[in-house]
A = this chain, B = another copy of it.
């Protein structure tokens, strides 16, 4: 009956399959529990002969130390949590990978989850990770109130926010220069002769979206251009809304001659809409994306370094863990304007 032999039964009295424990190894090797522990952990003070006997028992039984028990005793789990918006978003892939690499270099595993931009889900996830006693937490906030983390932070969970600041608590945060980047991008369009410039961005409650809008306004104001309401559209980044917003700005008697887009998802949709237009419309997008250089025209972007955000945040996290208290800090990484053609088009007409 292969059904019962291939995979261990999972009856309640038969936890973890029926894995051998150190006790089993000790019995088989004819030594004490502590001696097995010494061998498993490479601690000194075991004669070569004893070590060999223990090792043989380990191999014969297929023993693997239960780190979950180890953790309970040691206090640190050697794992950190990452709460992000969506693992499938190309912006978060490199960020997540960078966090993972830093964790790995510190011997820690990474548990991550997507909040799907839902504050309640962010909260549940973050607290579930705390219940698992992760040593630290890297959070890309969906919500704007993180007081729920205060007891956890007080209890010793290292915490760093990234991409967006924490709400209503004092904590480490690593951001891109969203304001400055957007201002530079819009100023670039102004320098190429545009005055009627549209801004299409994400929901205004999202910090990055608000900051980029602020950058847009600042650049316009610096140039003495009064901004019209219909030039600004903020909302969800689903293609339908972005498409409609773009088309509205491009219609009517005084259409915009250039568009500044608030993030990669918006940019992609706007590129699609512009490709359908007969007249040329200039475009600068926040966030770089693959193949931006291969489109015709190439898409000029304000690039942020997602991997650097992740790396910086994770390093900050382990500094908290290694060094005890570190005063909360706000770190801002610079953005970079990449000219590729779409942002250098002159105003139509």
Contact = CB atoms under 8 A, between A and B. Distances in A.
Q: How many copies does the complex hold?
A: 2
Given A4-B325, A131-B67, A113 B100 contact: yes
Given A64-B152, A68-B71, A271-B294, A88 B96 contact: yes
Nearest to A328: B6
A97 B93 contact: no
A142 B71 CA distance: 29
Interface string A89-112: 110111011001000100001111
Given A7-B154, A62-B155, A324-B10, A16 B75 contact: yes
Contacts of A6: 154, 325
A83 to B, nearest CB: 11
Interface in A121-153: 127-133, 151-153
Contact of A133 (B16, B90, B294): B16
A155 B100 CA distance: 28
Interface in A56-98: 62, 64-69, 71-72, 74-75, 77, 79, 86-90, 92-94, 96-97
Contacts of A272: 294
Contacts of A75: 12, 15-16
A197 B201 CA distance: 44
A109 B157 CA distance: 18
A43 interface: no
A241 interface: no
Contact of A8 (B87, B154, B275): B154
Contacts of A72: 66, 68-69, 72
A320 to B, nearest CB: 8
| Smallest CB-CB A-B distances: 4 pairs | A17-B156, A15-B75, A62-B151, A17-B155
29 contacts: A7-B324, A9-B324, A16-B75, A17-B155, A17-B156, A18-B156, A19-B156, A64-B131, A64-B151, A65-B131, A66-B133, A67-B133, A68-B68, A68-B132, A69-B72, A79-B132, A87-B97, A87-B100, A88-B94, A88-B307, A89-B93, A97-B114, A100-B113, A100-B114, A112-B112, A271-B294, A289-B290, A294-B295, A295-B295
